[in-house]
A = this chain, B = another copy of it.
Amino acid sequence: MRANYIEEIKTWTEEFKFHADVSVRFSETDMYGHLNNTKVFAYFEYARIEYFKSLNRMEKWTGPQGDTIPVVADLQCDFVKQVFFDEQLKIYVKANSIGKSSVDLHYMAKNERDVVVFTGRGAMVQIDRKTGKPVPWTKEEHQLFMENN
């Protein structure tokens, strides 16, 4: 596996605790017969949001009173194995490193045979909805990400 964001594969894999379940929809396949590669990023988004919900961090970004929103700074995915229609995937998420107002999330997708089918990462920044400027995490949030890496 050549993904440059994985320092040491064994440790990297074992650090994941949280996952969200995704089932590959028919409409997400393409004429080559497998999961279209553009669709995995919607899985990452879904898993990331479930992860934030598990930390009770999502509500503040979607509620009507929210002043801040999370913005995706970058995204990447390395495709390891073909994925097919109706496969049940586990999309693992962890906070790999934490900045002042950003967090680097890593992803690992496994199929039902516990085989890694794709991996990925992406940085997110918390910004002020009006000014667009980065808003630092609170101490509590920093702590939360550290404990749930």
Residues of A within 8 A of B (CB): 3, 23, 25-27, 29-34, 36-39, 41-42, 44-46, 49, 53, 62, 69, 71-79, 85-86
Task: With both chains docked as a complex, state the minimum distance between the C-beta of A91 and any C-beta of chain B, in angstroms.
Answer: 12
B41 near A38: Cβ-Cβ < 8 Å: yes
A78 to B74 CA separation, bound complex (whole angstroms): 4
A79 to B31 CA separation, bound complex (whole angstroms): 19
A33 to B45 CA separation, bound complex (whole angstroms): 16
Partner of A49, one of B26, B71, B74: B26
A76 near B74: Cβ-Cβ < 8 Å: yes
B33 near A42: Cβ-Cβ < 8 Å: no
Least CB separation from A76: chain B residue:
B76
A105 to B4 CA separation, bound complex (whole angstroms): 17
Most buried by B among A37, A72, A77: A37
B62 near A85: Cβ-Cβ < 8 Å: yes
Least CB separation from A71: chain B residue:
B79
Which residues in B have their C-beta under 8 angstroms from that of A44?
38
A97 to B99 CA separation, bound complex (whole angstroms): 33
B25 near A45: Cβ-Cβ < 8 Å: yes
